Amino acid sequence: MDIFRILSRGASLNKNKNKTTDYALPQNNISKSQKSKKDSIVNEVEKETDFFHTKKHHKPIEESKSSKSEEQVVEEEEAPPLEINNEEDARKFRNLHRSKVTGDDNPLPIGSFQDLIGRFQIDKKLLSNLIDNDFIEPTPIQCESIPITLSDRDLIACAPTGSGKTLAFLIPLVQQLVLKNVTKNHGIRGLIISPTNELAVQIFQQFENLVKGKNLKIAILSKQLANKLNNDIVKSSKYDIIVTTPLRLIDLLKAGKIELSKVEQLIIDEADKLFDHGFAEQTDEILNHCTNSKIRKSMFSATIPSGVEEMAHSIMKDPIRVIIGHKEAASNTIDQKLIFTGNEEGKLLAIRQMVQNGEFKPPIIIFLQSITRAKALYHELIYDKINVDVIHAERTPKQRDEVIKRFKNGDIWVLITTDVIARGVDFKGVNLVINYDVPQSAQAYVHRIGRTGRGGRSGKAVTFFTKEDDKAIKPIINVMKQSGCENGFNEWMENMGKLSKNEKKSIKTHEVKRKKISTVPKVIKQKRKQKQDMIEASKRRKQEENNE
């Protein structure tokens, strides 16, 4: 059976004028009891979130359509933005948002973007750009980070996926740099580093909206720009701010084609990734080129393990540390669930079951552990030119960009991928993340599932596991507990395996060997083989007859 045939049978896809996409499962295929079951799942998923005071603006269309009791509506409209005038107000604010702020002389959070007018003389155009983009009230991480940065303090910030960390560093960056009048071709003053190109592009796009009408020259270090810099067609001093991945920047630094000595604002997004093996050396090299003694540094991520924090402290001056929620928790807008599929074949069966139950509601992202497996699942699901596509490191940047665009537009419903897009990428309306293969660490899990439940929306994350994963699910259960998703797993799952330190390490460094992905049932495979054997035998017979 082809699950996507069921999916495509009556699925409707409405695009509203704002280009966000509303996906709906075929209602005519769902019985009343299935519908009420589906509704109850949706209701269960729609948990209260504190990220956005403006939740009404950012709700998925379907959510606003659902019939809610008046009490629920009243409850949502409560909690007006706090005015924060003193330490006591700040304490209340931090209690409300479960935020912890540590460091010497940390400034009070802001309660609204308007607070920035009185306290930091925020640029009027910057403020109006925010409003024009529908950013009406700051999220908790923005409330805390913006005043810290504008007070010229180094910052280590940890806040859930989809909670608005990008604006938390972009707003003060713009403000800091527009405030100072510098001569033309002064040199790069702001540097943002991101681990992947996709994320760099996204940061740059959000940035462009923010600096509209301001005299700031920003650029993404694309291949084209790198070529121009390499061939001296343009000089790096032309730019005020650069957004880049480490490798491209390092190539230019080595060639002496880019100059970082004027950088006064350095932002490291997805900091734990950039301090992890594979990236740490490159990050260090970049830091060595940032020689301005007045440089201010920030790092952001949804997961900051202690080791990374130690490293951060060693390169920062008296930093303030902000943690929203729990350090190792997922966003509380994501409903998480573990499903035991017995064996590999069980995973496709589980997807079919989700389709039958009305739980397979696009847009969906499916993560697998390797490129080979991602390709294999893609080929299994591609029958009949269905809206499924795949992104992995072997595809060209252009192909990757194209697929992301099509997924965001709603032309692709199901995106199959590896960890290559697990971090940062903001797909607003993703309903469901499926971990077809168990991620190798708690951090990888938090970032993968963080592609849903963004910007205050609700989302769902399902992780399949087999006998082979008895050890690897432990860190995931811990995240689920920290995020308050105790209902997403059973007690027996928790007792499956206790981890020693070595085992933990081994999970992170070794991929689980898995059986190949295939939907073709064994009997059919056997029949095909029999047929093939018969053809071969008949060929041999003919050959023998000819030889005689």
Place of tokens 């469901």: 432
- The bridge status of strand 414-417 relative to strand 388-391 is parallel
Inter-axis angle of helices 223-230 and 246-254, to 10 degrees?
10
Residue 327 binds ligand ADP (CB under 6 A): no
Q: Of 34-42, 135-143, 219-227, 311-319, which segment contacts ligand ADP by CB under 6 A?
A: 135-143
Contact of 278 with 422, CB cutoff 8 Å? no
Residue 303 binds ligand ADP (CB under 6 A): no
Residue 166 binds ligand ADP (CB under 6 A): yes
Q: Which two tokens stand for residue 174?
A: 């713009």
What's the gap between Cα 187 and its chain centre? 32
Q: Which two tokens stand for residue 241?
A: 């701010």
The residue of the chain with the least Cβ separation from Mg ion equals 424
Residue 424 binds Mg ion (CB under 5 A): yes
Instruction: Work out what residue 443 binds among Mg ion, ligand ADP, none; the CB cut-off runs from 5 to 8 Å by kind.
Output: none
Instruction: Work out what residue 98 binds among ligand ADP, Mg ion, none; the CB cut-off runs from 5 to 8 Å by kind.
Output: none
Residue 139 binds ligand ADP (CB under 6 A): yes
Instruction: Work out what residue 305 binds among ligand ADP, Mg ion, none; the CB cut-off runs from 5 to 8 Å by kind.
Output: none
**165, 189, 361, 408: residue in contact with Mg ion (rule CB under 5 A):** 165
Residue 453 binds Mg ion (CB under 5 A): no
Instruction: Work out what residue 162 binds among Mg ion, ligand ADP, none; the CB cut-off runs from 5 to 8 Å by kind.
Output: ligand ADP
CA 74 – CA 95 distance, rounded (Å): 22
Binders of ligand ADP among residues 167 to 206 (CB under 6 A) are 167
Residue 298 binds ligand ADP (CB under 6 A): no
The residues with which 335 forms a beta bridge, in sequence order, are: 460
CA 469 – CA 317 distance, rounded (Å): 42
195/358 with CB nearer ligand ADP: 195
DSSP 8-state secondary structure symbol assigned to residue 231: T
Q: How far is the CB of 333 from ligand ADP (least distance, A)?
A: 11
Instruction: Work out what residue 138 binds among Mg ion, ligand ADP, none; the CB cut-off runs from 5 to 8 Å by kind.
Output: ligand ADP
CA 138 – CA 542 distance, rounded (Å): 79
From residue 331, give the alpha-carbon distance in Å to each of 130, 158, 452: 24, 12, 9
Q: Which two tokens stand for residue 109?
A: 């959070």
CA 173 – CA 168 distance, rounded (Å): 9
**37, 428, 481, 504: residue in contact with ligand ADP (rule CB under 6 A):** 428
Residue 165 binds ligand ADP (CB under 6 A): yes
144/380 with CB nearer Mg ion: 144
Closest CA to 107 of 82, 83, 87: 87
The region, left, alpha or beta by phi > 0 then psi within -120 to 50, assigned to residue 232 is left
Residue 164 binds ligand ADP (CB under 6 A): yes
Binders of ligand ADP among residues 52 to 91 (CB under 6 A) are 52, 54, 58
Q: Provide the binding-site residues for Mg ion, judged by CB under 5 A.
A: 165, 424
Q: Provide the binding-site residues for ligand ADP, judged by CB under 6 A.
A: 52, 54, 58, 135, 137-139, 142, 159, 161-167, 426, 428, 454-455
